[in-house]
Amino acid sequence: MLRRWITPLLSLLLLFFVSSTSLAKSLTVQVLDKQGQAFEGAVVELQHPDFARSAMLPEAAMDQVNKQFAPYLLVVEQGTAVAFPNSDSIKHHVFSFSAAKRFQLKLYKDRPPEPLVFDKPGVVALGCNIHDWMVGYIYVAQSSQVLESDQQGKARFELESATLNKEYQLAVWHPRFKAEDAQRLTAVASSTDTLVFQLTQSLHPEIDNQADEFDNY
């Protein structure tokens, strides 16, 4: 009698697993520079109205270490609270005039301010009023599907069934991209498994984040 129930149950579970697997797919995006070399560290975001927002957003941190922002580029989802600890032994005055988040965190060292919620999508450029060589960026993604490209320039997404028959929008960004590439939105068919995003412009020079003659302050 027990065997009579077990066999149909196993068949049902196997059918459910196969169906669930077939309803999901992966998409790999590779980012290449103008010369065709893999570009590591680019923000790769897939946008679609049906992408569910993350229910729980962990707090992120933009630290200040050796008179530099750490990390140089922080990627968060819209609605994330970001803390600004100061691991240096000197004070910093962090600010941003970006449309996505305008703020000032006046001189502080031992007591970091309360975390700030980044509730608008976009790029937030950071500076320090005391140390003008300090530059950092927070990329606030409107989608939960956002990654950074690896050493091979690749970002691999696992997509859910809700978006399988619809078109995505692909946004790729990095501070070194020229405007023509940083503002490109690429339509991606739902059947696409792999896609190459190659820059059409040369990169901006790398920013010199090293201290200057006011190094001791």
Q: What pLDDT is recorded for position 111?
A: 77
Domains 25-51+143-205 and 54-142 belong to one CATH topology: yes
* pLDDT tens column, 47-98: 988 887 888 899 999 999 999 999 999 999 999 999 999 999 899 999 999 9
Contact between residue 30 and residue 172 where contact means Cβ atoms under 8 Å apart:
no
Please state the pTM of the whole predicted model.
Answer: 0.85
Q: What is the pLDDT of residue 113?
A: 84
pLDDT digits (tens, 9 = 90+) for 118-143: 999 999 999 999 998 999 999 999 99
Residue from 80, 72, 106 nearest 92 by CA: 106
- For all residues of the chain together, what is the average pLDDT? 86
Domain ranges of the chain: 25-51+143-205, 54-142
List pLDDT tens digits, range 29-43: 999 999 999 999 999
**CATH, domain range 25-51+143-205:** 2.60.40.10
Q: Please list, in sequence order, all residues whose beta carbon lies within 8 angstroms of the beta carbon of residue 54, skipping any fewer than 6 positions away.
A: 77, 144
What is the identity of the amino acid at 80? T
Level-2 CATH architecture, domain 54-142 = Sandwich (2.60)
* DSSP state string for 172-200: EE-TTS-HHHHT-EEEE-TT-SEEEEE-S
Q: For residue 199, which of 34, 36, 30, 43 has the smallest C-alpha distance?
A: 34
Convert the pLDDT of each residue in 185-217 to its tens digit: 999 998 899 999 999 999 999 876 665 555 555
